[in-house]
Structure 1
Amino acid sequence: MDRAAIIRTESERLAVVLAAAEPEATCPTCPDWNALDLLWHLTEVHWFWSQVLARDARTGADIGAIEEAKPPRPAAVAELSALREDSTGALLSQLARLEDADPRWSWWEPDQTVGFTRRMQTYEATMHRVDAELTAGLAVSAIAPEVAAGAVDHAVDVMWGWPPDPARYRPSAVVEFVAADLDRRWLVEVGSWTAPTGTDQPRAVRASAGQPEVTVTAPVQDLALWAWTRGGSVSVTGESSAEAALREVVANGMP
C-alpha cells in the first residue's frame, strides 16, 4: 500500500470537494462541524503530526510545545486552503524521510512509532474525504479494497480498543465480520471497560478464539464505512443480546 499516495490523494479530494461546497454546510457524520470546520480539522491534524515527526517528539512536554506553536485558524478561505496544502505537504515530507520503526510520540500507548502515524493518517484522510463528500451531498467515491480492509483492522485493533487507564475489561460477545468481496474475516470480542470511577464505555478487542454469536457481512468498503460510523450497508445476523453489545461499540464512535 502506497500510504503517502493515499494521504495525498484523499486530502486533495477533500479540499476540492469542500471548495465547491457551501461553507456553512453541516457535516452529517460530524454534526458539530461545517464544511470549513472539516477543512480546518484536516489542516491542523496534518500540521500537528508533521511537527511531531519533524521535532522528534517523544514526551508530553514535547507535545505541549507543539500545541503552543500551532498557527491560528485563518479567517480567509483561500488562506485556510493554502495552509492545508502546506500542512499536508509537510506531513508527507516527514513521512518520506522516516522509517516506520523510528520512535515518535503517539496517543496510542502500545505503538510509539512513525509507523503508527503513517497508518493512522492513511485512514483518517480517507474517512475525512468521505465526510467531505457527504457534507457536499455527493456519493461516496470508492475506497481501495486494501485500504478499506486496513481501516477495519485499525478500527478493531486501535480505535475500539482504547481503554481508560486504569480500567477493567468485561467481555460480552464474540462477533465475526465477513468481507463479502474479499477473502477476509475478523473475529472480534465486544464488551466494555469499567474505569475506577464506575463509568462504563463500550470497547472491543481482537479475538483469537470463540464461536461468533453475531455475523456482520458486507463488501469490505461498506464494512469500513460502518465500522468508522460513516454509513455502509451491512447485514447483521445472530443473537439479539450480542448484536446489541456490538451496536453499542459502533455507536460509541471513534475516540
Structure 2
Amino acid sequence: METSALRRHLDLEYTRLRAVLPAHDDLTSISVPSCPGWSLADLVQHVGEVYLHKVDCIRLNTRPLQEPDLSGLDPVQVLERGFALLDDCFDKHPPHDPAWTWFPPEQNVAFWIRRMAHETAVHRFDAELAVHTPTEIEAGLAEDGIDEVLTAMLVTDIEPHEYTAGRAPIEVRVPGRSWFVNFEPESLRISTEGRAATTIHGPASDLELWLYNRTRGEKLKFTGDLMGVGVLRDLMTEATK
C-alpha cells in the first residue's frame, strides 16, 4: 500500500480510536478482553507512549534510551499529545527521510508510518472490543497489515531455535494473494509462491486479527496439516508481544 494511503488510514484509525473512548467512564474499570490484564486506560496509555517513542526514533535517528516525561498527564492526554506530535513529525519529515527502526532493511520514516497505521488499527479494534462494539479493519489496510506482520515482525523476531527447520511451509491466504512461511535453517522466509502442508485463509480483516491473536478465527478456514495452525499461532504470539 502506498505510504500516502497508509497515512490516511492512520489518521482515520486514530480518530476512530479516540471516538470510541467513553467520555465519562473510568477507563481503569474497563477491561480489554484481547489484552489480558490490561484496562482501557492501560491500552490508551500504551498507544500514546508508542507514538511518542516513534517521534524520538525519527527526531534522534537512533534508538531512544530515555522515557518521555508524562507527569501530570492522564492516559487520554498522553494519547492526544502522542498523536499530535507524531502527526506533526510525519508532516515535517517526508517518507524517505532517515529514521531508526528495528527492521534493518527499512531505516526511514515510511516504515514508521506503515507501522503506526497497523498499530493503531489493531488497538482501535481492542478498544472497540472493550466497549462491545468491535468492527473489522478495512480490507486493503488489513491485507497490507498481514504482509507487514509476516515479512517484518515474524521474520525479524523469531530465531531459528524457536522452530523446526525443514518443516513444510504454511500458507496464509486472502482472496487473490498468498504468503508462504518457509522454515529454513537460517531464519523464517516469506515467499509469494510455494507448496504448503497447512493453509489458513479467509477475509483479510479476520486473518490479520487472528495473526495478532485478537480473535479465534471463527470466519477463517484451516485445511491440511492442522498442527501447522498451532505452530504459526505460537510463533505469531511471540512475534507480536
What range describes the TM-score normalised by the shorter chain of this pair? 0.7 to 0.9
Paired residue for 1:35? 40
Q: Post-superposition shift, 1:40?
A: 0.6
Residue 72 of structure 1 corresponds to 70
Pairwise CA distance, 1:32: 2.4
Aligned residue among 114, 120, 143 for 1:119 = 114
Local SS of the residue matching 1:176 = strand
Instruction: State how 1:1-255 maps to structure 2 within 5 Å.
Output: 1=2, 2-20=5-23, 22-23=26-27, 24-53=29-58, 55=59, 57-60=60-63, 63-64=64-65, 67-68=66-67, 70-72=68-70, 74=72, 76=74, 80-138=75-133, 140-163=134-157, 170-179=165-174, 182-190=175-183, 204-207=188-191, 209-231=193-215, 232=217, 233-255=219-241
TM-score scaled by structure 2? 0.84
Cα shift readout 1:105-128 (whole Å, capped 9, x = no counterpart) = 112233221111111001000000
Q: Does the residue aligned with 1:143 lie in a helix, a strand or coil? A: coil
Q: Deviations over 1:180-220 (max 9, x none)?
A: xx322222225798xxxxxxxxx843035531101111111
> How many Å separate the matches in 2 of 1:208 and 1:114?
26
Q: Secondary structure at the match of 1:93?
A: helix
How many angstroms apart in 2 are the aligned matches of 1:22 and 1:168?
40
TM-score by length of 1: 0.80
Change (3 A) 1:73 1:238: farther
Q: Distance in 1 between matches of 2:36 and 2:185?
A: 26
Q: Contact 2:158–2:239 (CA<8 Å) still a contact in 1?
A: no
Q: Tell which deviates more after alignment, 90-99 or 14-23.
A: 14-23
**Per-residue deviation, 1:252:** 3.1
Distance 1:129 1:122 in 2: 10
Q: Distance in 2 between matches of 1:136 and 1:142?
A: 15
**Which amino acid in structure 2 is aligned with residue 103 of structure 1?**
P
The 1-side partners of 2:143 and 2:190 are apart by 15
Q: Is the 8 A contact 1:35 1:135 kept in 2?
A: yes
1:197 alignment counterpart: none
AA aligned opposite 1:155: V
Q: Distance in 2 between matches of 1:40 and 1:73?
A: 12
Please state which structure has a larger fraction of its residues in strand: 1
Task: Report the 3-state secondary structure (helix = DSSP H, G, I; strand = E; otherwise coil) of the residue aligned with 1:211.
Answer: coil
Query: Structure 1 residue 95: deviation in Å?
Result: 1.1
Structure 1 residues 73 and 124, CA gap change in structure 2 (3 angstroms):
farther
Deviates more, 1:212-221 or 1:3-12: 3-12
Task: Judge conservation of contact 2:160–2:185 (CA < 8 Å) in 1.
Answer: no
Contact kept in structure 2, 1:17 and 1:132, CA below 8 Å: yes
User: Identity of paired residues, percent?
Assistant: 26
Deviation at 1:73, TM superposition (A): 5.2
